[in-house]
Amino acid sequence: MNCNIAVIKGDGIGPEVVSEAMKVLDAVGAKYGHTFNYEQLLMGGCSIDVHGVPLTDEVVERAKAADAVLLGSIGGNTSTSPWYKLPPEKRPEAGLLKIRKELGLFANLRPAFLYNELKGACPLKEEIADKGFDMMIMRELTGGLYFGARETKEVDGVMTAVDTLTYNENEIRRIAIKGFDIAMKRRKKVTSVDKANVLDSSRLWRKIVEEVAKDYPEVTYEHMLVDNCAMQLVKDPAQFDVVLTENMFGDILSDEASMITGSIGMLASASLNETKFGMYEPSGGSAPDIAGQNKANPIATILSAAMMLRYTFDMDKEADAIEAAVQQVLVENYRTCDIVSEGTTLVSCSEMGDLIAARV
């Protein structure tokens, strides 16, 4: 199969970890007879340095022409980087919001899986970690509070800020369908998270989810208030399969879920539109403090590439091969600096990529 991938390495550790993911993809191609063609594009701070904006219209069009996008991390040190002296709409993260909107990437998938080999890094009690967990946070990505109308103005002599949270039934329905579809491929359980005891948008969310659930009789589902969900994630994460929620709640809960795995450097993510097109990126940030030092953990980006093979290209056995290679490397006790512990072998970012590629 011939696959055209737009590669946005981004800022900070982005170029390092994306290079390792490309290395692993090339190993997959060599083994299974696929060709991965890469077109490298700029977005984020590196685009500001060259073009003065975090994302150009040309890059958007070239990304649309690809089969999928493989993305590194965007942004820098918010206290020292000149990028953050710019207006908000010109900062690196504005490019990320824009490309998600332009590509119609409304469904964000963030798996949180606790590897047996990394249970010692899990911050939860041993008896909770020993049960393990394997969940998928399904977050609506292009609606809600982050994309609503906003303004800051003086009202009766008092500075007042307004952010608008809006969802319509079509936006809710399409993310719910994605969530139930993913559940059908997993353990057939959906936990829909909202704040229906307070918010009208959540009451509509709950109504539409119940309508969609009728089309999936094999899937069990439940509603859970977001504050309770935040507690349950640290009390009993094993109960969750697919967690379906809106944009801001998903932003917060997915970060919480990532940290109970022991390291955000282990967690992949995918953002999908209504076709098989997707953008695949690690869940972590650009880590400017270790950029260029060959210390970063590339596993999240490598696993994101595996998600790309699975969800965009329908290459399940190839995705399985990458995931098995990651597992094998962990079993053999190789670790990057964020997950190293006594009795394990410290390796660099590029060495970790080599090890995984060799085991594909």
123-260, what's its fold? Answer: Isopropylmalate Dehydrogenase (3.40.718)
Q: Output the CA torsion 98→300→352→40 (10° steps).
A: -20
DSSP string, 158-202: EEEEEE-----HHHHHHHHHHHHHHHHTTTSEEEEEE-TTT-HHH
**Predicted local confidence at residue 264, as pLDDT:** 77
Q: How far apart are CA 326 and CA 315, in angstroms?
A: 17
- With tokens 């824009």, the residue in question is 98
Tell me phi and psi for residue 238, to 5 degrees.
-65, -15
Contact (Cβ atoms closer than 8 angstroms) between residue 302 and residue 19: no
The residue type of 260 is I
Checking DSSP bridges between strand 189-194 and strand 220-225, what pairing results, if any? parallel
Residue 263: what pLDDT?
75
The tokens of 202 are what? 């959540």
Handedness of CA 140, 220, 254, 4 (dihedral sign): negative
What pLDDT sits at residue 237? 97
Judge whether 309 and 31 are in contact, CB under 8 Å: no
Answer for the pair 303, 18: CB distance below 8 angstroms, yes or no.
Answer: no
Active site residues: 146, 195, 227, 251, 255
CATH says 1-106+264-360 is which class? Answer: alpha beta
165 near 199, Cβ under 8 Å? yes
Please, where in the chain does CATH 3.40.718.10 lie?
1-106+264-360, 123-260
In 33-168, which residue ranges form alpha helices assigned H by DSSP? 45-51, 57-65, 92-102, 126-129
Cα separation of 269 and 108, whole Å? 7
- DSSP H or E segment with residue 150: strand 150-155
Taking phi over 0 as left and psi of -120 to 50 as alpha, with beta for the rest, 43 belongs to beta
- Measure the CA–CA gap between 344 and 336, rounded to whole angstroms: 10
Q: How many CB atoms lie within 10 A of CB 32?
A: 14
Return all residues near 159 (Cβ < 8 A) that are at least 6 apart: 152, 153
What is the residue whose two structure tokens read 């953050």? 84
Helix (H, G, I), strand (E, B) or coil at 191: strand
pTM as predicted: 0.88
What pLDDT tens digit does each residue of the chain (360 aa) get?
999 999 999 999 999 999 999 999 999 999 999 999 999 999 999 999 999 999 999 999 999 999 999 999 999 998 899 999 999 889 999 999 899 989 999 999 999 999 988 888 889 999 999 999 999 999 999 899 988 999 999 999 999 999 999 999 999 999 999 999 999 989 999 999 999 999 999 999 999 999 999 999 999 999 999 999 999 999 999 999 999 999 999 999 998 998 898 777 788 999 999 888 999 999 888 999 999 999 999 999 999 999 999 999 999 999 999 999 999 999 999 999 988 888 999 999 999 999 999 999
Is residue 116 packed enough to be buried (19+ CB in 10 Å), middle (13-18) or exposed (0-12)?
A: exposed
